[in-house]
Amino acid sequence: MGNLCACLATQPVKKKPIKRLPNPPPQSNTSNRWTRIRSSRKEKLDDALLQEQALAAAILFQQHQQNGSLPFDRSASLRYPNSSSKKSSNALPRSSSSRARSLTDPLLQPHQLVNQDVKLDDLETNHFVLVHGGGFGAWCWYKTIALLEEVGFKVTAIDLTGSGIHSSDANSVTSLSQYVKPLRDFLENLPEGNKVILVGHDFGGACISYAMELFPHKVAKAIFIAAAMLKNGQSTLEMFSQQATSDDLMRQAQIFLYANGNNQPPTAIDLDKSMLKDLLFNQSPAKDVALASVSMRPIPFAPVLEKLSLSDLKYGSVRRFYIETSEDNAIPITVQESMTKEIPPEQVLRLKGADHSPFFSKPQALHKLLVEISKISST
């Protein structure tokens, strides 16, 4: 971006030929560099705007709760919450598809990661259904939704019962069937002959497994992202308890809620907000941690205890893929490897440098893997 200075003679002299520099690229390189910087600034501004909108939506949601329009206040640290209020079921929301960029995965466009010539019509399905983990909601997928929709995929993000903006109280959920009902309803209403790719994160892995057993003919592929991938007769709590130690971060962060009194079993599990970053977001941008801190809700306890009934005929007929997260403090890589060895999926892929929430810490790399898995044809 420099300016060239012209030197003028003080008296007329014979003009000499001007020598052209054989290599003017320094100017061009400088210009390109500033173009890249401007582009980077614009993307960061776009990302900041999207984050502000998401945070504003979360804050508005909290205000609605505090004004009494919802049956509980998830921002309060109540050990014995009131579960007597009425519950209503709302239509499932679609998340915004606004453009997003991650500061830890910067300046990569979709065409730099995947083949732009992806022929969606040649795929078995171009429809992703995203299922969040325990405490999360459909909101956590906002970057993944934006990237997938930009290259032509159809995306549906589900809020499970008592999660995200679903109006039920997590303490009132007494079974896995009740917890997974929004996903079950969606798949039941899916037209015959249509298939989707189910994607489950964290406890969402158990949820998509439950759905695979019910609707194997409607699931083309199942992708487990740092998720509970259980065998028949196993519960999520049982699987994780085998790996837990006294210094386990997850165990330290858990706060049990007793809506029915302290002489009854817990009804939900909350997470210590001061430990969220170290536990779930140790590689994620600060603004995504802020979004999660005002958006996460307690995890219903009963579904975590429930043993899954999975058959080879139904659940076993669906193609499974597992994406490991190498810097995960919630479900350590050793636990993930143990699951994939005990119940081997078709393929295991690893996101290097990803924490437990790769949709925040490595959104572009996660996007690439999801698209590549969608392109794998049946053999």
Greatest pairwise CA separation for the chain in angstroms: 103
- DSSP assignments along 129-169, one per residue: EEE--TT--GGGGHHHHHHHHHTT-EEEEE--TTSTT--S-
Answer yes or no: is 199 within a domain. yes
Answer yes or no: is 17 within a domain. no
**Are 127 and 93 within 8 A, CB to CB?**
no
Residue 3 phi, psi dihedral angles, 5° rounding: -105, 140
Catalytic: which of 127, 166, 356, 367?
Answer: 356
Give the integer Cα–Cα distance in Å for 149 and 21.
Answer: 47
**Are 123 and 374 within 8 A, CB to CB?**
yes
Answer yes or no: is 292 within a domain. yes
Answer yes or no: is 236 within a domain. yes
Catalytic: which of 127, 328, 355, 367?
Answer: 328
Domain of 247 in residue numbering reads as: 114-375
3-state SS assignment for residue 261: coil
Residue partners of 122: CB distance under 8 A and separation at least 6: none
200 has which bridge partners?
131, 224
Strands 254-257 and 268-271: antiparallel
∠ CA 173-194-163, nearest 5°, is 20
Answer yes or no: is 220 within a domain. yes
132 is a catalytic site residue: no
127 is a catalytic site residue: no
Task: Write the CATH number for 239.
Answer: 3.40.50.1820
Regions of the chain short of the pLDDT cut 70: 1-118, 242-247, 379
3-state SS assignment for residue 353: coil
State how many domains the chain has.
1
Answer yes or no: is 46 within a domain. no
Answer yes or no: is 312 within a domain. yes
Let me know how long the chain is.
379
Q: Residue 102 has what pLDDT?
A: 38
Q: Residue 379 has what pLDDT?
A: 62
Question: Where do the DSSP E strands lie in 258-375?
Answer: 268-271, 299-300, 319-325, 347-351
Catalytic: which of 47, 202, 288, 355?
Answer: 202
The order of strands in the sheet holding 219-225 is 154-158, 127-131, 196-201, 219-225, 319-325, 347-351
- DSSP assignments along 35-73, one per residue: HHHHHHHHHHHHHHHHHHHHHHHHHHHHHHHHTTSSS--
Answer yes or no: is 45 within a domain. no
Q: Residue 5 has what pLDDT?
A: 39
- DSSP assignments along 308-331, one per residue: P---TTTGGGSEEEEEEETT-SSS
202 is a catalytic site residue: yes
* 42-55 residues labelled b (16+ CB within 10 A) or e (exposed): ebeeebeebbeebb
Q: How far is CA 108 from CA 101, 188, 256, 257, in A?
A: 9, 37, 41, 42
